[in-house]
Chains A and B, each alone.
Chain A
Amino acid sequence: MKFPTRPVVLGLLALGFSALILSRAQAGGGHYYPPVADSVVKEECGSCHLAFPPSMLPASSWKRMMGELDKHFGDDASVDPEAARKITAYLVANAGDTGGQRYGGKLLRGVDPATAPQRITTLPKWVREHREVQDWEWRHKDVRSKANCTACHADAELGYYED
């Protein structure tokens, strides 16, 4: 009996391909960032803008941001000390270089935590992923801000940032 080379090779190829996809999916594929699950964090960080997933920045960034809330990108976003303490603890525990590493790892590649970057939109991977977005698209009345993820990523609130 002849060895069934063709079906076996095809089967192995299919298996290899799905393994590749699966490993990408398990590594987050770089496009899934679990949304904020804490109600205080959701309320305080999500009334003016999307409550950005903690895994998008390293812990050092969140610590610095929470210490400068009265000057939050030009706004006074200060909260009472008890809330600030809870929010900081949540963000630090789920940051991209702590608990949220498997989701934020790719986004934070090449980022030195010591620099405590504040804008997700200046991270090298963020810039690379958005390089094809035109100027007029950013200025569109339904976009206006690079912090307005949901304008293009319809499921951003759920944590999905595919194209």
Chain B
Amino acid sequence: MGTIRFREVVKTYPGKQPVIALDRVNLDIGEGEFVALLGPSGCGKSTLLNLIAGFEEMTSGALSFNGGTVDSPGPERAVVFQEAALLPWLTVEQNIAFGPSVQKRPRAEYEPKIRELLRLVGLERFAHSLPSQLSGGMRQRVGIARALVMDPKALLMDEPFGALDAQTRMSMQQLLLDVWQSLGTTVLFVTHDIDEAILLADRICIMSARPGRITREITVDLPRPRSVDQLTDPAFIRHKAAIMAEMREAQKEHA
């Protein structure tokens, strides 16, 4: 269970000159599907994610999660933020435990799970460190563990690796691939990195800016399980060339 459906969704920000962030967006994401939203900054891809996360309200249209309406944030739609957004006064362990603890789940249930997740993201030794003592990549690992501990039906990831250096980004992509391939959660992944979108996603939705629209949908039929080694595969390069051509075309159409 983790289907997402956008129907003719419009989001405008009022003001002297109202900004149309999203213009009649249609998008269907199936159970267990990994969809990447690819586009330049300011194209509304984060707005799209914020709507399904329940952080913002759409102006018109219909939006559903698992067939139900979305009116507030909730643990079944876990968000991984660009800068991790960990609470700086809590240790790594306390940050991961925040969700289960506010949901008043029994400690005996979530504590073993946190230990398991810490191992999964390679941070056992840092359970009692503060976020400020971690590197950017480690912080984002905590952000992912914090989302996974809630057993979400969908993972909403807003450029989670955008602020990381190339090497760290690759190891995070591999980590995400491994985790997702074993869990099979629905993922909506916002990025402006073409390689990242191809490597991770089943399907790539290309967005254009002003007004924000999904202009192309491309299915990535690279076999799974994938790994970052495939970044140099001929098949990968072919995909990339095709996507770049589509993006150029889309840009021309919307210029």
A and B are interacting partners = no
Q: Residues on B close to A: CB < 8 A?
A: none
